[in-house]
A and B are shown apart, each in its own frame.
Chain A
Amino acid sequence: MKKTGQKKLLNDLSNSEYKYGFSTDVDTDIFPMGLDESVVRAISAKKHEPQWLLDFRLKAYHKWLTMEHPAWAHLQIPEIDFQKISYYAAPRKKQAGDGQQIDPELVDTFNKLGIPLEEQKRLSGMAVDAVMDSTSVKTTYKEELSKLGVIFCSIGEAVAEYPDLVQKYLGSVVSYADNFYAALNSAVFSDGSFVYIPKGVRCPMELSTYFRINAMGTGQFERTLIVADDDSYVSYLEGCTAPMRDENQLHAAIVEIVVLDRAEVKYSTVQNWYPGDKDGKGGIYNFVTKRALCQGESSKVFWTQVETGSAITWKYPGCVLKGDNSVGEFYSVAFTNNYQQADTGTKMIHLGKNTRSRIVSKGISAGKSQNAYRGLVKVGKNADGARNFSQCDSLLIGKSCGAHTFPVIDVQNPTAVLEHEASTSKINEDQLFYCNQRGISTEDAVGLIVGGFTKEVLNKLPMEFAVEAQKLLQISLEGSVG
């Protein structure tokens, strides 16, 4: 009985694997492959950027040339030829005269993805910035937001319209020299979102960016910058998908968040880049640097991430808790199946007094995948009364997968209290048996147990995302039982 059930599921799976795997036939303005100084200059020229930004890019490019590809992660990364990637691709507008009109193909694409891009969908109540390949396609609800003084636009627009703000904060959290991929991104980043919440404003709706890689042979290097001024609040969502292709595509993004006095930022990600097929062919390399700087006192940052996609994930959203009494929290579910590899976790750097952080990480590995949690909790000399709690649980489904935990705890202050707990085990046989004897099939039982396992994290997601994430996990789980 059980066997046939499983077989059926496996058959279903080959069809239901990745439902965002289509590609859109839009006319694309694409740079030839390769990277040198002229490409960096060309990107900058294409976007009519001011001199300071070009200088920033060039500085980053020259730094990048001196850097080596990082090898410390628990990942098998095939050699990446950075000269075989195109560093700029933009959907070309069909009617040149009709400035604001978006290509209907694009609208279709985003409709397929379930992104409320068109104005008539305003009832869904979420402001969206959609980024296809290298450029931001359309930002919704701009007018409503601008009444409150909230700036939500593509970073390209922000550079043109609010150069002072961008210049002040760009690179202030993630330096261009931070790491190999941060330097690469700083040199060639093309678009992304910019958010500024003025003093005392609670952003009335969720802001969301949807990233889509469409063109072949390109990399996506987007950059997101969020600045929350004193006493403000914003909840920001990020989603991403890509077409199914045999080749590996590179996605190297930077997210910077600056949080000033008493402000609060929630950043949620559902990462569903194409993970490659069941034999490990294709898929996105997702090498991302995300960091929040809690600069002001009593500022707060919450990272929530659901990682189900990408062939390789290399990502450590971090918080620098500089302001006194600031709070950083990190909630993560990382699911890997087939030949996926994930090395993900967080950094909590306590610098201010009475800073608090909390880490809840749930890793699920199935198939032949490798899933690692890597984290750093550091308490500086002056961080009196710092407090951290970390919990990392891993669930193993199947004989050939791996689950790893690599935390680093570094304490330089005697008043700090840090706790770290980690556990790794397979799905409890007793729980499965209990479900079975109540008439729940093994597949459903595993789904239930995984649901329970990840609930603590999924609960932190905004409603719509939580539902999507749950579905995503269910799909990813299919066929991994046995």
Chain B
Amino acid sequence: MILDAYISLFREHRAAFNAGAPEWLARAREASLQALADSADLSELEAYATDYGMNPNRLQPSEDPAKVFSCEIPGITTYNYLVFNDSCYAQPKRQLPQGVVDCPLSEAIAKYPDLVARYWGKNNTCNANWHFNQVFAQDGLFVYLPKNTQLDRPIQLVNLMYDNQPRMAVSHNLIIVEDGAKAQVLVCDHAYGETQYLSNRYTEVYVGAGAQYEHYKLESTNDQMTNVSTVSLELQAGAKVLTNSITLHGGRTSNDVQVKLSGEGAHLSINGLALGANRQCISNHTDIWHKVAGATSTELFKYILDGESQGDFYGLIKVDPGADRTMALQTNRNLCLSADARMQSRPQLEIYADDVQCNHGSATGQLDEKALFYMQSRGISESEARFLLMSAFAYEVLDNIGIEAVKDRLRLMIERRLRGEKYNCATCSMCK
């Protein structure tokens, strides 16, 4: 079994992997290693079945990462960070408000050991992806916003896969937004080259009381990419969080968003859009846990599937005993365009409190024949009518994106995609 190979790889290179790691992290890694070795549920680890290369000795890339890729969404100004395979590079010149920390995780572990230790793994998912990540992740992005601070522009994290041989990248991001602070994070996943890639990216986010946080994740990679991404969020009282996962192009995508609503009055808006073509597999797994009274959540996930693509949506809403006045709304809408596309939807409610209002709706189908007919009777061609209906369907998910430049760019990319044109990410150097 390939997992054993990874476990023995870690054992062989233990010193290299643990270089610079504090004792608590080395111990946590051993525990996770044991959990992986004992893991009976191998289906969770199915994605790891191919043999990929890893980089335990932290060899530097032969090219300058900054030159390989630059995001050229018109009009966007961000604090830019690049995770090149598994190493994090920050934009050299940047001025952040007093007290805000942003640096590669490896640096944060050395410089702010207490801060990292206080939050690390506090809200982990305890599944195979978490354990795998904890064992192998060496780097990632670390962001800390002290109380009541606010950034003037979004943080943009670009995860880039770039190699000429099969490659696995494991990275770990830790984002701490203290009480009353405000931040927007934009994560863009890209892959360059023709080889097989696997990434396991784990992002932990802690949102303090009254803080506001927005998390956007865009994926535009390639057919050879297996992208396993987990975002775990914990919200304190009155926190407001918005997440949006947009999957445009990829091989196998697994987006897992785990949210704990731990404070009264916390509000979560969780959204996603997936456009599947060819043999893409796109899975969105969301887990919303209402732990206390008076928290609210709304959820909207939409899929448009073409070719032989497969979509999978799993959305669990769990309401603990005593979590009264919970309001949770979940919607999943899917369009299947081709005979070979397949959609599986599992909206789940698990409710242990009585004073709640929880609804979910899931619908799978095709474009409304009546609407198509109406448009054609008004002189709009069938293909144009189809395009208009599909784009309207998709744009609903984009409406709440708070970064205008990203929203405009996404509209354009989706439009191109729905018209069957080339739709790779913008004008970046990779696609030129």
Contact = CB atoms under 8 A, between A and B. Distances in A.
Interface of A: 74, 381, 394, 396-426
B349 A424 contact: yes
A426 B354 contact: yes
Given A411-B334, A414-B341, 5 more contacts: A396-B353, A396-B356, A399-B354, A423-B358, A423-B359
B420 interface: no
Interface stretch (B168-176, B226-234, B361-369): B361-369
B346 A407 contact: yes
Contacts of B349: 394, 403-406, 422, 424
A188 to B, nearest CB: 32
Contacts of A418: 362-365
B356 A414 contact: no
A394 B350 CA distance: 11
B343 interface: yes
B338 interface: yes
B387 interface: no
Contacts of A425: 356-358
A407 B356 CA distance: 20
Interface in B319-347: 321-322, 334, 336-339, 341-347
Given A414-B337, A420-B363, A399 B347 contact: no
A400 B354 CA distance: 8
A91 B350 CA distance: 44
A408 B321 contact: no
B355 interface: yes
Contacts, number: 114
A398 B356 CA distance: 12
B298 to A, nearest CB: 15
Contacts of A415: 366
B71 to A, nearest CB: 35
A313 B265 CA distance: 37
A409 B351 contact: no
B365 A416 contact: yes
Nearest to B341: A414
Interface in B348-397: 348-366
Contacts of B354: 396-399, 401, 426
A340 to B, nearest CB: 15
A409 B358 contact: no
A420 B344 CA distance: 13
15 contacts: A396-B354, A402-B350, A403-B351, A407-B362, A408-B346, A410-B344, A411-B334, A419-B361, A421-B359, A422-B347, A422-B360, A424-B349, A424-B351, A424-B358, A425-B356
Interface residues on B, range: 20 to 34
B344 A417 contact: no
Nearest to A403: B351
Name the residue in B345, B351, B358 with the highest tally of chain A Cβ atoms < 10 Å from its Cβ.
Answer: B351
A408 B348 CA distance: 9
Nearest to B305: A414
Given A411-B334, A420-B362, A422-B360, A396 B342 contact: no
A139 to B, nearest CB: 43
A204 B345 CA distance: 42
Contact of B359 (A397, A398, A422): A422
Contacts of B355: 426
B336 A413 contact: yes
B343 A410 contact: yes
A20 B343 CA distance: 47
A428 to B, nearest CB: 10
Given A414-B336, A425-B356, A404 B351 contact: yes
Nearest to B368: A417
B326 to A, nearest CB: 10
Contacts of A402: 350-352
Given A418-B363, A424-B358, A411 B346 contact: no
Name the residue in B338, B345, B358, B364 with the highest tally of chain A Cβ atoms < 10 Å from its Cβ.
Answer: B364
A433 B179 CA distance: 40
A350 to B, nearest CB: 12
Interface in B84-132: none
Nearest to B336: A414
Contacts of A398: 354
Contacts of A396: 351, 353-354, 356
A411 B357 CA distance: 28
A410 B347 CA distance: 12
B346 A416 contact: no
B356 A424 contact: yes
Contacts of B343: 409-411
A442 to B, nearest CB: 15
A385 to B, nearest CB: 11
Contacts of A412: 341-342
A400 B353 CA distance: 7
Nearest to A421: B361
Name the residue in B322, B349, B355 with the highest tally of chain A Cβ atoms < 10 Å from its Cβ.
Answer: B349
A422 B345 CA distance: 14
A211 B322 CA distance: 40
Contact of B339 (A401, A413, A417, A426): A413
B113 to A, nearest CB: 42
Given A399-B353, A409-B362, A409-B364, A414 B339 contact: yes
B361 A422 contact: yes
A401 B351 CA distance: 8
Contacts of B358: 423-425
Contacts of B362: 407, 409, 418-420
8 smallest CB-CB distances across A and B, nearest first, come from A417-B365, A396-B354, A409-B345, A414-B336, A405-B349, A420-B362, A426-B354, A424-B358
A381 B308 CA distance: 12
A420 B363 CA distance: 6
Given A414-B338, A414-B341, A421-B359, A407 B364 contact: no
Contacts of A401: 352, 354
